[in-house]
Amino acid sequence: MLLIVGASLAVSQSGSDTAAPGSASTRVPPGTAAPPNTRARAAGPASATPASAGPAKSRGAAKPRSPAGWRRDPFGTAARYLSTRAGTVLAAVYDIRTGQTWRLGRGQPQDEASVVKLGVLETLLAEQDGNGAGSGTGLSASDRWLTQQMIEYSDNDAATSLWYEVGGASRIRSFDTAAGLTDTSPSSCVDCPGFPWPGWGLTTTTPGDQLILLRNLVEPSPLLTYADRSYALSLMENVTPSQRWGVSGGIPPQVTVALKNGWLPLDNAGTDWQVNSVGWVSGQGRDYLMAVLATGNPDEQYGIDTVDQLAALVWQNMN
């Protein structure tokens, strides 16, 4: 039985896709490196890392922010739109320039679908640093190929290989804890009884936790080097065109968007879809992170349309 839950809305402010089930992906021969990132990633006007994070290893010093430049709520017009949509939508936005965070929606953590692949990537990069490689280029040729397939094409087999390589749920949980995530629970199974897709997609999370993972990439991080962050962002900026929806909705093509999306049918009939999008948007006077989780969608495209429109509203309101 399909249960469609009306959009649950509340706004607060503080200071698998599984390569779509059945979809084909372009393959790159083993050993081929991901496209180089052509823009150097300076830390920019970033906030200090959380107090629990410890000293940063990456370049760039955090700069204090002034409330004089604070922006209005980017979700200001979203409640009206989401009240017309089926499903439950949770979202959060973090303005890199001012340090403001806004949250939309109330509800329990939702399934990550292939958004979990971002957490797998960060865990892998942090582990290879811990083993002394340290530069983000210390990944083996095979791991660089697997990470490219996992992020740029959302390849499930690559993700499963890397899930096991980093140590599965327990090691990913350890990384999440070190990063400051409090509401993310890695799935305990990959081959889950009665579930035809990879079980890592059933990892649950919140938009707030996803913002923390994204901040690990765009701000100085105690867990990832500058080169790690640049490498991860280069993959997210080169996601295959057919998967460039979500937080990129309504955004001009000349604006930088680094994203990872997830889409997953939660029932055998394909009438209950989880559709998620997380990423970084920078350009035309805007510089922000956004995470959207949407469950209870009657089909995949319906969820994509909801997330696209929400992202477009945020883009407009962040001006």
pLDDT in tens, 140-167: 999 999 999 999 999 999 999 999 999 9
127 contacts 225 by C-beta, under 8 angstroms: no
> What pLDDT shows up at residue 129?
73
pLDDT per residue as tens digits for the range 58-102: 333 344 454 557 788 999 989 899 999 999 999 999 999 999 999
pLDDT per residue as tens digits for the range 23-65: 333 333 333 333 333 333 333 333 333 333 333 333 333 444 5
Residue 319: which pLDDT band, with cuts at 50, 70 and 90?
confident
> What pLDDT shows up at residue 238?
98
Secondary structure element (H or E) that encloses residue 92, with its range: strand 88-95
pTM of the prediction? 0.80
Given a cut of 50, whether residue 168 has pLDDT beyond it is: yes
287 contacts 44 by C-beta, under 8 angstroms: yes
pLDDT per residue as tens digits for the range 101-112: 999 999 999 999
Which own/partner contact pairs does 24-31 have at CB distance under 8 Å and 24+ positions apart?
25/149, 25/153, 25/154, 25/155, 25/240, 26/153, 26/240, 27/149, 28/145, 28/148, 28/149, 29/145, 30/141, 30/142, 30/145, 31/141, 31/142, 31/145
CATH number of 11-310: 3.40.710.10
Given a cut of 60, whether residue 18 has pLDDT beyond it is: no
> What pLDDT shows up at residue 130?
64
Residue 278: which pLDDT band, with cuts at 50, 70 and 90?
very high
> What pLDDT shows up at residue 131?
56
Average pLDDT score, the chain: 83
CA dihedral sign of residues 102, 104, 108, 112: negative
> What pLDDT shows up at residue 35?
36
Q: Percent of the chain having pLDDT more than 70?
A: 76
313 contacts 149 by C-beta, under 8 angstroms: no
> What pLDDT shows up at residue 67?
56
Residue 138: which pLDDT band, with cuts at 50, 70 and 90?
confident
Cα distance between residue 128 and residue 171, in whole Å: 13
CA-wise closest residue to 267 among 21, 11, 8, 9: 21
User: Which DSSP string do the residues of 241-307 spell out, in sequence order?
Assistant: GGG--STTTT--TTSEEEEEEEEEESSTTS-SEEEEEEEEEEETTEEEEEEEEEEEESSHHHHHHHH
Cα distance between residue 315 and residue 248, in whole Å: 9
Q: Percent of the chain having pLDDT more than 90?
A: 73
